[in-house]
Amino acid sequence: MSRPEDTLPPDLFYNDTESRKYTTSSRIQKIQSDMTHRALALLQLRSPSLILDVGCGSGLSGEILSNDAEEGTPGGPHVWIGFDISASMLGVALEKEVEGDLFLADAGQGVPFRPGTFDAAISISAVQWLCNAETSEESPAGRLSRFFNGLYASLRRGGRAVCQFYPKNDLQKKMVSSAAVKAGFGAGLLEDDMGTKNAKTYLVLTVGGGEMDGDITGVVRGMDGVDVHDDRRRIKNRKGEDKKGSKAWIMRKKEQMESKGKVVKTNSKYTGRKRRIAF
């Protein structure tokens, strides 16, 4: 897989020729449209909504958002606002006369909308660009956290966001999803064609409140062919745990100390034995 984000920053990489190539390639069009439909299915919108398109580029995904319900967009036609860092890409979008509103902005600098603006947000093949920092003043983690914090604030309660991205490795996957969780989202990853070269990763984000199911497990409930791997650590039921000073507690502490290499007295029948009241 080619990794354009390793070669140049996005505003320089997507120059006029590269933007045109990207937009006119029927292969890319097909992939982008498939992914947008998948993202829309995950958003489960029922009525015309206000949607934010992060990294809208030339509006390949936006065109689908403005389609009617009859043309395959659930709940459509939606009104969308898109931003992208590449002026050339936006130029192509202007030529195509897309219906959404466009503006030039860097997602790593935040999302400049007032709280509770959007019903949903969508981002197709953009978030991996945030994992690179071009100057020494900024860091990938900082850019990601600025983006997700801004996105979290700009979505209304009960809103959802779906970000499809191409993570380079598991580390990057983890970095992106943990940044989203830190911002307050309920986050989960959905992977299509797992383990193949065509693997597609969708980060499904939910904002608390509202009538919808809490997190990604609620989103994918009822979908065909989805396996759920819940890696969240269950919080142990602390009630039944050893009371401080009890025999079990002393034994556990002795074991802990022993494993640290400290000198620990051997256990005997007196270890942790309860002292009876003398009188």
Write the single-letter amino acid at 10.
P
For another protein, the closer CB: 79 or 251: 79
Interface with another protein (CB under 8 A): 47-50, 77-79, 81, 83, 85, 90, 94, 99, 101-106, 109-110, 112-114, 116-117, 119, 135, 137-138, 156
Residues 9 and 15: their CA atoms lie apart, in Å, by: 11
For another protein, the closer CB: 61 or 66: 66
Residues 157 and 210: beta-carbon distance below 8 Å: yes
For another protein, the closer CB: 29 or 117: 117
- Least separation in angstroms between residue 159's CB and another protein is 12
- Least separation in angstroms between residue 179's CB and another protein is 17
Where do we find the tokens 């120059």? 15
Residues 265 and 87: their CA atoms lie apart, in Å, by: 72
Residues 90 and 128: beta-carbon distance below 8 Å: no
Six-digit token string for 23: 């937009």
- Least separation in angstroms between residue 89's CB and another protein is 11
Residues 85 and 277: their CA atoms lie apart, in Å, by: 76
- Least separation in angstroms between residue 112's CB and another protein is 4
What angle is formed at CA 16 by the lines to CA 19 and CA 93, rounded to 5 degrees? Answer: 55
- Least separation in angstroms between residue 72's CB and another protein is 17
For another protein, the closer CB: 111 or 163: 111
For another protein, the closer CB: 87 or 248: 87
Q: Which residues of 173-192 are buried (b: 16+ CB within 10 A; e: fewer)?
A: bebbbebbeebebbbbbbeb
Residues 233 and 181: their CA atoms lie apart, in Å, by: 14
For another protein, the closer CB: 88 or 125: 88
Residues 79 and 144: their CA atoms lie apart, in Å, by: 26
- Least separation in angstroms between residue 60's CB and another protein is 17
How much is the CA Rg of the chain, to the nearest whole Å? Answer: 25
